[in-house]
């Protein structure tokens, strides 16, 4: 399972992307060698889909690789991951054979990775607001543009760790495609929150990530 990409941002957040090559048995054996104690089997066995079990193992193996003294993860009431006995902020994402992680010492972070997929067109009305839908049409219904919008919104959603409609996560009309940056406003219950989300296309996958410093 090679670490295929590492991105260090000016805001000092770090992004890591791994490619899963192992079988489930190989991933499980590697994980067992790294943890201090057992007890994880029941949690994994509750995951019925093979691909998701492999992603479970891979996300933790990646964490052992890049986070000193990694002790495991726990999840809050919103389903967001946190490091055990570690105040640093993390966010994870999985898609097929890719696992992505972003980490920052102090600020909340979010990340999304998504393999290119035509099915996003079928659900676009569920996450695009009226202005974004018009811009999507103006783009020639570009699948790349649609993926950027989805991943950017998913990233901001993870930053806040509160449920909010994706249509209330509003992307800016102008996009710096060369730099891979999109400005976003999240209309949360306590008012608007501004974000700058970075995005990339890497080997058929779209990646978006954000460090919230407000």
* CATH code of residue 56: 3.90.470.20
pLDDT of residue 178: 63
Residue 155 above 80 pLDDT? yes
Cβ atoms of residues 15 and 209 within 8 Å: yes
Per-residue model confidence as pLDDT tens digits over 126-140: 999 999 999 999 888
Per the structure, the count of domains in the chain is: 2
Confidence of residue 3 (pLDDT cuts 50, 70, 90): confident
pLDDT of residue 161: 79
Domain boundary pick from 46, 75, 107: 107
Domain boundary pick from 67, 83, 107: 107
| Pair (152, 187) in one structural domain | yes
Beta bridge partners of 183: 196
Domain boundary pick from 87, 107, 127: 107
Higher pLDDT, 149 or 214: 149
The alpha carbon of residue 131 and the mean position of all alpha carbons in its chain are separated, in whole angstroms, by 25
| Pair (141, 98) in one structural domain | no
| Pair (185, 151) in one structural domain | yes
| Ordered DSSP codes for 152-193 | HHHHHHHHHTS---GGGEEEEEEEETTTTEEEEEEEETTEEE
| Pair (91, 119) in one structural domain | no
Higher pLDDT, 2 or 19: 19
> For residue 95, what is the DSSP state?
E
| Pair (126, 201) in one structural domain | yes
Confidence of residue 52 (pLDDT cuts 50, 70, 90): very high
Mean pLDDT over 106-129 rounds to 95
| Pair (202, 173) in one structural domain | yes
Please state whether 42 falls in left (phi above 0), alpha (psi between -120 and 50) or beta. alpha
| Pair (77, 26) in one structural domain | yes
Confidence of residue 39 (pLDDT cuts 50, 70, 90): low
pLDDT of residue 37: 61
Per-residue model confidence as pLDDT tens digits over 160-214: 977 789 999 999 876 766 679 999 999 988 889 999 999 999 989 999 999 998 7
pTM value is 0.93
Residue 49 above 90 pLDDT? yes
| Pair (128, 95) in one structural domain | no
Per-residue model confidence as pLDDT tens digits over 58-110: 999 999 999 988 989 999 998 999 999 999 999 999 999 999 999 999 999 99
Distance CA 78, CA 122 (A): 27
Residue 148 above 80 pLDDT? yes
Question: What domain range includes position 12?
Answer: 3-107
| Pair (9, 102) in one structural domain | yes
The backbone torsions φ and ψ at residue 181, rounded to the nearest 5 degrees and listed phi first, read -135, 135
User: Per the structure block, which two tokens stand in for 97?
Assistant: 């054979």
* SS3 state at 202: strand
Cβ atoms of residues 153 and 165 within 8 Å: no
| Pair (137, 95) in one structural domain | no
Distance CA 24, CA 65 (A): 18
pLDDT of residue 149: 95
| Pair (77, 16) in one structural domain | yes
| Pair (19, 54) in one structural domain | yes
């Amino acid at each position: 399972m090679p670490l295929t990409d590492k991105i260090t941002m000016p805001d000092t957040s770090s992004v890591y992307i791994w490619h899963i090559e192992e079988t489930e048995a190989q991933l499980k054996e590697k994980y067992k060698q790294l943890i201090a104690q057992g007890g994880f089997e029941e949690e994994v066995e509750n995951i019925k889909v093979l691909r998701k079990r492999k992603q479970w193992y891979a996300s933790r193996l990646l964490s052992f690789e890049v986070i000193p003294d990694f002790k495991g993860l726990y999840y809050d009431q919103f389903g967001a991951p946190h490091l055990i006995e570690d105040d640093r902020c993390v966010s994870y994402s999985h898609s097929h054979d890719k696992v992505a992680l972003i980490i920052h010492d102090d600020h909340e972070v979010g990340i999304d990775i998504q393999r290119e997929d035509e099915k996003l067109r079928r659900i676009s009305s569920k996450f695009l607001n009226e202005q974004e839908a018009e811009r999507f049409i103006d783009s020639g219904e570009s699948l790349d543009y649609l993926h950027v919008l989805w991943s950017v919104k998913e990233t901001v959603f993870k930053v806040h760790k509160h449920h909010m409609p994706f249509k209330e996560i509003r992307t800016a009309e102008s996009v710096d495609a060369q730099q891979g940056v999109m400005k976003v406003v999240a209309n949360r219950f306590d008012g608007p929150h501004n974000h700058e989300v970075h995005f990339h296309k890497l080997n058929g996958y779209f990646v978006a990530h954000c460090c919230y410093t407000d």
